[in-house]
Amino acid sequence: MKIRAIVKRPDELIGHVTNIENSFENLQRTVEGPIEAVTFTPKALYGGPAFVVLCNEEGRIFGLDQNCTVDASTIYNLRAPVSFVGTIAVIGVDGDEFADCPLTRKYWAELIKPMYKQQITVIHDYALRSLTEQSDKEITATAKQLEAEATE
């Protein structure tokens, strides 16, 4: 049986919607290794849809590329943002079974922060902190140059 999923590779900004076979072997192929399922359940106050992010359980060990960070702590029961590496699949849950993804791409896009944007922010913040003796104009120019280099 196929289920609707948002599959996101590290080189994609948001990911793409596709139908994938809901079998253990196929889900492992999708995330390119052993599956780890991270469940996001909404806080009672917000009532958003529950969903699961499937990722490669050994992705960090094998140095897979950074993918994205889900930062939804205001809506979902999270203590901190969760970062993923490698290809991920976003799907739904129905009891103990995986089901169609309940999220739209737009809603998903609002929950994630692509890693390259975070890296640009870190570089930008570092440039601002380390160049405090320069004029504001020089700091902005340096930060923009670092940002351009990071996106190349």
pLDDT digit string (tens) for the chain, length 152 residues: 999 999 999 999 889 999 999 999 999 999 999 999 998 888 766 667 889 999 999 999 999 999 998 876 666 776 778 889 999 999 999 988 999 999 988 888 888 865 545 444 444 444 444 444 445 566 566 666 666 665 65
Q: What is the pLDDT of residue 88?
A: 97
| Residue 142 structure tokens | 């340096």
Question: How many CA atoms does the CB half-sphere of 18 hold within 13 Å?
Answer: 13
Give the closest residue to 72 by CA, choosing from 104, 34, 113.
113
Name the nearest CA neighbour of 91 among 10, 31, 12, 13. 31
- Please tell me the predicted confidence (pLDDT) of residue 124: 47
The pTM of this model reads 0.72
Task: In whole angstroms, give the CA distance from residue 142 to residue 152.
Answer: 16
- Give residue limits of the domains in the chain: 2-113, 119-151
